[in-house]
Amino acid sequence: MRLQAQPINVVSILGADYSIKAPEGQEETLSQAVRMLNTALAETKRQYPTLIGDKLLVLAALNLCSKQIELQKEHQQTLARTQAQIDATVDAISRTIGDQ
């Protein structure tokens, strides 16, 4: 079995270039992640213009993580609501069938 070499992608973050290996088929995901990070960095820089380097990067990363946690909570709430609706529908169908 021969392992395929992962392509190396050069991305730019905070003006520095990084060579990153992305699994085959994940190059677009990497590009989207880089764009998202650069956008978060720009937004954070606008809010805190004196931040530079690692401090800017850490604050932007924390903001992204906070957004991700909120999205996960919203997703779990949506799943719970959907499951409750499904359960109510199944109960209603069961009662309807049982009444016949």
SS (H, E, C) 13-57: ECCEEEEEECCCCCHHHHHHHHHHHHHHHHHHHHHCCCCCHHHHH
> What is the pLDDT at residue 8?
81
- What proportion of the chain, given as a percentage, has pLDDT over 70? 94
- pLDDT for residue 2 is more than 90: no
Tell whether the model's pLDDT for residue 40 goes beyond 90: yes
- Please check whether residue 9 is in contact with residue 22, taking contact to mean a CB–CB distance below 8 angstroms: yes
The whole-number pLDDT of residue 4 equals 58
70-84 pLDDT, tens digit per residue, is 999 999 999 999 999
pTM: 0.70
Mean pLDDT along residues 28-53: 93
Per-residue model confidence (pLDDT) at position 3: 54
Quick one: pLDDT at residue 48? 94
Q: What is the mean pLDDT of the chain?
A: 90
